[in-house]
A and B are shown apart, each in its own frame.
Chain A
Amino acid sequence: MKTLTKKAEAPLWLKILKIIGIIAAVILVWQVVFTLMVEVFEIWKPYVFPSPMRVLRAYKKLITNGSLFLGIGQSMKRILIGYSIAVVIGVVSGMLIARFDFLAKLLRPIVPAIQSLPSVCWVPFAILWYGLAESATIFIVVVGSAFSICTAVDSGIREVNPLYVRAGLTMGAKGAELYTRVILPASVPALIGALRHGWSFAWRALMTGEMMMSSKGIGLMLSQAREIGGINEVTAVMLVIILISMVIDKLIFGLIEKKASRWN
């Protein structure tokens, strides 16, 4: 049986140790490059290349004046609202397109085309419709991810193994019942993939929106860091952006995908 061949997973402490080791190595290399290129040979100016110590100092400043957590909180609030709206729109529209042929004919060519539009292109619309209000940034998040979720949900449902559908049909499931008992459960892995993908689009769109037109938020902190704080603060904020996106993708969506592993 297949279960017997399943590989034993490395213990958690070993994984954590490995991650710490990698981070330490990266910082070390970074410090060496900084020392050589900026301090010893003076090839790069200190305002174009960050140093680990100064980035650390930037964090200390951002934390003590409270702006870091305020910014993270604000961004999280926006993305949660925007992403939730996008999920509802994307999942519902994706299911409708997969279900009704006339919608499919109409929308299947259009949606991916709109999706390929970078979210920054929506900024003029957002400003004209909402001004520089909170809703403008949320609008950018919604349009930045809803279309991608829609496309992925549509294709996930469309690509359900026809064998499952035939098996369901022969066992008497039809109409709505076929949908809820066969088609939807069969497309769960694709749906999770769609949400995960949509999240990363939402996150990018949020940064665009915040950098272009928000008050508060991590995106705005990044613009401000460029204007006032310099390269080290820019680096500090960017690392936070990467970290948040990584933690949510790996921890939350990774866990959900693991939970759904019985599908395979």
Chain B
Amino acid sequence: MSIEIKNVSRYFSDTGNEVLKNINLTIRDGEFFCLLGPSGCGKSTLLNQVAGLDTPNEGEILVNGKKVTEPGPDRIMIFQEAALFPWLSVIENVKFGMKAAGIPKEEWDAHAMKYLAMVNLASCRNYKVSQLSGGMKQRVSIARALATNSKVLLMDEPFAALDKQTKNLLRDELEQIWLAERKTVMFVTHSVEEALFFGDRVAMMSSNPGTIKSVFEVNFPRPRHIDSPDFVELRHAILSELRVEVERFENVN
């Protein structure tokens, strides 16, 4: 499924704050697309709009050619905090979205177990949410999202709250899953490294108002190594542009 973002602008009338200005992006079917930018530049707002949790003031977003007006079973959002429901067990959390996804009820258990196994948590199926560590929670929330069979994954800094070791582990897991399922992914991050590890393309945003500043093609093969020469080179290029952006932002304020 492709995502077309056309002339999207967003401002909040209460603050008079122009958050997104004339965003145009097309994300191809099966692409891993990373959105990079300083905090506050409107990344989450844009992702929310693709998810149908927020509406642009101007412009429109098409998913598979159909205009987004509300959340839909073709798209699923994964948040920075795992957002698991603490009143449900791990497996019940994973089954939550299956009703709306139209999966037959008798398949729910097997389907949930398949994705719990994929994130290496099959043995924790009956745990309470409070018994999980931060990394385990985020894994369950990834399993919960994948288990809806949505063709589009929208990930809003899903690893930002995790420690480095867990982050690396989940990064590899997510790459494996993506290579196996080839979903269309829109992945928000403020880590250049993360963007270059995952992205087929990396878009850099500039803030105040939020616009797309440049889009980088990342052509090197997977799995990528963060110390390979082309990785280091591209990271330098992006970082220096990002630095200009952050300094500009600091001067404005």
How many residues on the A side are at the interface (Cβ–Cβ under 8 A)? 22
CA distance A190 to B228 in the complex (A): 53
CA distance A167 to B97 in the complex (A): 10
Closest CB in chain A relative to B127 CB, distance in Å: 9
Which residues of chain B from 111 to 136 have a CB within 8 Å of any chain A CB?
128, 130-133
Q: Which of B27-35, B75-83, B195-203, B242-250 contacts A (4 or more CB under 8 A)?
A: B75-83
Q: When A171-B148, A172-B71 are in contact, do A262 and B128 touch as well, CB less than 8 Å?
A: yes
Judged by a CB distance under 8 angstroms, whether A163 is at the interface is yes
**Inter-subunit contact B53/A166 (CB<8 Å):** yes
Secondary structure at the A interface, as helix, strand, loop or mixed, is: helix
Q: Which residues of B contact A1 (CB under 8 A)?
A: 131-133
Closest CB in chain B relative to A115 CB, distance in Å: 29
**Inter-subunit contact B131/A169 (CB<8 Å):** no
Judged by a CB distance under 8 angstroms, whether A263 is at the interface is yes
**Inter-subunit contact A263/B71 (CB<8 Å):** no
Closest CB in chain B relative to A92 CB, distance in Å: 22
CA distance A263 to B183 in the complex (A): 33
Secondary structure at the B interface, as helix, strand, loop or mixed, is: loop
The contact of A166 among B77, B131, B144, by CB within 8 Å, is: B77
Q: Which residues of B contact A185 (CB under 8 A)?
A: 85, 87
**Inter-subunit contact A188/B87 (CB<8 Å):** yes
Q: Which residues of B contact A186 (CB under 8 A)?
A: 85, 87
Central interface residue in B51, B71, B79, B133, by most chain A CB within 10 Å: B71
CA distance A2 to B132 in the complex (A): 7
**Inter-subunit contact A262/B130 (CB<8 Å):** yes
Judged by a CB distance under 8 angstroms, whether A102 is at the interface is no
Judged by a CB distance under 8 angstroms, whether A65 is at the interface is no
**Inter-subunit contact B100/A166 (CB<8 Å):** no
Q: Which residues of B contact A116 (CB under 8 A)?
A: none
CA distance A2 to B127 in the complex (A): 11
CA distance A186 to B75 in the complex (A): 24
Q: Which residues of A contact B132 (CB under 8 A)?
A: 1
Contact indicator per residue, chain A 1-22, by CB within 8 Å of chain B (1) or not (0): 1110000000000000000000
CA distance A181 to B95 in the complex (A): 12
Q: When A171-B96, A171-B148, A172-B97 are in contact, do A164 and B83 touch as well, CB less than 8 Å?
A: yes
Judged by a CB distance under 8 angstroms, whether A64 is at the interface is no
Closest CB in chain A relative to B141 CB, distance in Å: 8
Judged by a CB distance under 8 angstroms, whether B73 is at the interface is yes
CA distance A1 to B77 in the complex (A): 27
Q: Which residues of B contact A168 (CB under 8 A)?
A: 96
Q: Which residues of A contact B70 (CB under 8 A)?
A: 174
**Inter-subunit contact A167/B79 (CB<8 Å):** yes
Closest CB in chain B relative to A99 CB, distance in Å: 19
Contact indicator per residue, chain A 158-178, by CB within 8 Å of chain B (1) or not (0): 000001101111111110000
Q: Which residues of A contact B53 (CB under 8 A)?
A: 166, 169-170
Closest CB in chain B relative to A62 CB, distance in Å: 46
CA distance A263 to B84 in the complex (A): 11
Contact indicator per residue, chain B 189-207, by CB within 8 Å of chain A (1) or not (0): 0000000000000000000
**Inter-subunit contact B86/A172 (CB<8 Å):** no
Q: When A170-B76, A171-B100, A172-B73 are in contact, do A163 and B131 touch as well, CB less than 8 Å?
A: no
**Inter-subunit contact B99/A172 (CB<8 Å):** yes
Judged by a CB distance under 8 angstroms, whether B101 is at the interface is yes
**Inter-subunit contact A264/B79 (CB<8 Å):** no
Closest CB in chain B relative to A66 CB, distance in Å: 47
Q: Which residues of B contact A262 (CB under 8 A)?
A: 86-87, 128, 130
Judged by a CB distance under 8 angstroms, whether A182 is at the interface is yes
**Inter-subunit contact A163/B79 (CB<8 Å):** yes
Q: A167-B85, A169-B52 are known contacts; what are 15 more A-B pairs with Cβ within 8 Å?
A: A164-B85, A166-B79, A167-B77, A167-B84, A168-B96, A170-B71, A171-B96, A171-B144, A172-B148, A181-B96, A185-B87, A186-B87, A262-B86, A262-B87, A263-B87
Q: List residues of chain B with CB under 8 Å of any chain A CB.
A: 51-53, 70-73, 75-77, 79, 81, 83-87, 96-97, 99-101, 128, 130-133, 144, 148
Query: Could you name 7 residue pairs across A and B whose Cβ atoms are closer than 8 Å?
Result: A1-B131, A2-B131, A163-B81, A167-B83, A172-B71, A172-B72, A181-B96
